[in-house]
Amino acid sequence: MLSDRQLKILEAIISDFIDTAQPVGSRTISKKYPLGISSATIRNEMADLEELGYLLQPHTSAGRIPSDLGYRLYVDYLVRENSISIREKEVIQALLLNRIIEASDIAKQAVKLLSEFTKLVAIVSIPKFNKCKLANLKLVKVSDSKVLLILVTDTGIVKNIQLALTNTEQYILDRISDTMVDHLSGETIENIDVRSISKIKEKLAAFGGIVDYLIPILRDALKGLNGTELYVDGVSHLLSTYEFSDTEKAKSIFEYLKNESQLVELLDELPENKLTIKIGNEIGIDALDDCSIVASSYHVDGNNAGKILILGPKRMDYGSVVSTVNYISNTLSDVFSGIYL
């Protein structure tokens, strides 16, 4: 373990590098940080920290920058979570706790807030509905040619699907809806199969063509709820960071972020019940070697429902990012658990 003096010097170097994006020299530390240590002593300690693998020295500079190992020690032992401001809390609550009931709308608001507050890339996944139970289903006539299929889960999440259906009376739609609810309510989405839907078709044989049209749509809609939906915001923020002014580096990250299946895999591999920070090669993806990620889960009735993730340069303000991620993940847990719905 490093000495207290080495830890203070390392913390000062990383803090300064996060602020300036410039290699840090011993004179800078002695002038800017009241450590009570001479510049010569700091220089010697920096050499030791480099030898131990916590610092790197770029070829073109006499100063040092943190290595992945240095960032890891900083994150684990030195970084302090910053309290999110009252104003930021008010903005988050105003946008997320305003009785939005479409899961996609909640996710869009959350990912936008995360990106705006951190000035980094934000990713939010919405709940995997296949583990949810169907609580209600309603067919509502909205015009002579359109019907709205409304699916409601036991956690209060609503999925709306617009259908093209002409000249159908509402009482017929009500009858079909009631029969579907009688047979499917309480079933988990993943357990609603062709056999259970076929039984509904038999019960509603009198309605003929309407049911023949609706059943495949219902089946496809339920199947579509099994996957993970992702929302990404703030990719343009990468262009304003010093690390990714190199167009080739930026291009490889942009290409990675465009591949949704890769992002789903990245989220799926993260732990579900704790805040996770991965730095550089810890992520295990070549395109993200110059990045860090901060991720957390949110929950529905105590069960993992989805994840949020911040991606940016290793030189990010971890204290602020962690506080924002924690607050928004807790708020999403409240929203998706139906506390405010």
Cα gap 229→256, rounded to integer Å: 17
Fold classification of 134-225 is: Enolase-like; domain 1 (3.30.390)
Cα gap 261→329, rounded to integer Å: 22
- Give me the residue spans of the domains in the chain: 4-78, 86-128+228-340, 134-225
The predicted-structure confidence for 107-126, as pLDDT tens digits, reads as follows 999 999 999 999 999 999 98
19-57 as b/e, with b when 16 or more CB fall inside 10 Å?
eeeebbbbebbbeebebebeeeebbebbeebeeeebbee
pLDDT at 26 over 90: yes
Cα gap 205→201, rounded to integer Å: 6
284-297 as b/e, with b when 16 or more CB fall inside 10 Å?
ebebbbbbbbbbbb
Under 8 Å between Cβ of 88 and 309: no
pLDDT at 103 over 80: no
Give me the mean pLDDT over the 226-241 stretch.
Answer: 88
Cα gap 251→246, rounded to integer Å: 9
Helix (H, G, I), strand (E, B) or coil at 278: strand
Band (225; pLDDT cuts 50, 70, 90) = low
Burial of 238 (0-12, 13-18, 19+ CB in 10 A): buried
Task: Name the CATH code of domain 4-78 (choices 3.30.1130.10, 2.30.30.40, 3.40.50.12780, 1.10.10.10).
Answer: 1.10.10.10
Residue ranges of E strands in the chain: 55-56, 65-66, 121-125, 134-141, 146-153, 158-164, 230-233, 276-279, 291-300, 303-313
Mean pLDDT over all residues of the chain?
Answer: 88
**Prediction pTM value:** 0.79
* pLDDT of the residue at 49: 97
The predicted-structure confidence for 77-88, as pLDDT tens digits, reads as follows 999 888 898 999
Domain 86-128+228-340 annotated CATH 3.30.450.40: yes
pLDDT at 340 over 60: no
